[in-house]
Amino acid sequence: MNKNIVIIVITLLSLNSGWSALNVYSSTALRHLPSDTLEFRHSDEYKSDSNELKAKMGIEELEADSNRKKIAFYLHDGVEILDFAGPLEVFTAAGHKVIIVSKTAEPIVSQGTLKIIPDYTIENAPKVDVIAFFGGNVGLDIINNGVSEWIKSFDELDNYFSVCTGVFFLGEAGILKNKTATTFHSSLDYLEENYKETKVLRDARYVDNGKVITTAGISAGIDGALHLVAKWQGFNKAREVAFIMEYDKWVPGEGMILSEDNPYTNLINLKKLEDYAGIYENESGIQVVIKVDKREKGLYAHLGKNRVPIFHEKEDKFSRMNKEHVTFIRNKNNEVIRMESSEHPVQFIKQ
């Protein structure tokens, strides 16, 4: 059996400007198994492999996130790959633990090509914080074969999450009663006709009812998952994950948010972000260009040909992905005149 571990490393090199290197590790590795079968290995399962590599590169262990969730992905034969693979990438990059659950312990075949070995069956799956369901070949025979009863067996969950036609798992279990939901575009009529107590919303990337989040088809699952990360860990964490994934199509808050815990309510407005935009230069002539990303509602620091996000914390204070702080200093006229980093004493003067 081939047990080679594939670890993905994204490294953004520093440019001798007082901004240190950024190293980001994926929290899921893949172990190759016979017959083109892939088994997902979670962060704590290959921790020793990752730590060994980090030690060789002189990188400290990242601090554990206190908001870490345990999420059960229910997968079935014919499940759409991107439906679950997109959210899997989001949740693991954000530090959450994802387990794969299926009806039986037999390998799941996704879209006729990818075989996945489940971690648990619905008979022995452990307690989790979130359960998630996905589309592709979803029929009532699959849903009502003990799965609805499993869904109903959970007394307390933080969230129910569905992507695409995975919404029908929730519908059959009664979770969508008196809720608003969405699904894959060609299944909206069926959802509306067969679940009369559910309000169906069209043209929405996702719908957030608070505890129940449903998304449109396939790629929309990434948006829904990023929204959940923003709810659980804050907008800055969701921005960080989107950057790591190079998901540059994300529009924060693009879905329909019906819950009170809207993570985008108190974001700094674009007009104030414009105060910080400009060219900053230190005494050695090194320049950092600060630009506003209007789609993402945030700032980026451009260093030569590279760019990194900086995250608003409060007032004129921001943070970087290494948790160091960046502070913008104003003059008596309330104009931004320079930028300082908690990591280095070098000041960058606004030009």
Q: pLDDT tens-digit profile of 88-110?
A: 999 999 999 999 999 999 999 99
Hey, how many other C-beta atoms are within 10 angstroms of the C-beta on 150?
A: 19
Question: Would you state the torsion angle of the CA atoms of residues 173, 179, 184, 185, taken in this order, to the nearest 10 degrees?
Answer: 140
Q: Which fold has domain 64-257?
A: Rossmann fold (3.40.50)
Within 10 angstroms of residue 121's Cβ, the number of other Cβ atoms is: 15
Q: What is the pLDDT of residue 141?
A: 76
Opening angle at CA 176, ends 261 and 130, nearest 5: 55
- Grouping H, G, I as helix, E, B as strand and the rest as coil, residue 148 is helix
Task: Give 281-318 pLDDT, tens digit per residue.
Answer: 999 999 999 999 999 999 999 998 999 999 999 999 99
Q: Write out the H or E segment, with its range, that includes residue 152.
A: helix 147-152
Question: What span, in angstroms and rounded, lies between the C-alpha atoms of 160 and 132?
Answer: 6
| 86 CB-near residues (< 8 Å, 6+ apart) | 163, 218, 219, 221, 222, 225
CATH topology of domain 270-350: Lipocalin (2.40.128)
Residue tagged 């240190």 (tokens): 20
Can you give the length of the chain in residues?
351
Q: What are the φ and ψ backbone dihedral angles of 248, each rounded to 5 degrees? A: -90, 15
pLDDT tens for the chain, residues 1 to 351 = 444 433 333 333 333 344 433 333 333 333 334 434 444 444 444 444 444 543 443 333 334 456 799 999 999 999 999 999 999 999 999 999 999 999 999 999 999 899 999 999 999 999 999 999 999 887 777 777 899 999 999 989 999 999 999 999 999 999 999 999 999 999 999 999 999 999 999 999 999 999 999 999 999 999 999 999 999 999 999 999 999 999 988 999 999 999 999 999 999 999 999 999 999 999 999 999 999 999 999 999 999 899 999 999 999 999 998 889 999 999 999 999 999 988 878 899 999
> pTM above 0.85?
no
Structural domain boundaries of the chain?
64-257, 270-350
Q: What is the pLDDT of residue 140?
A: 78
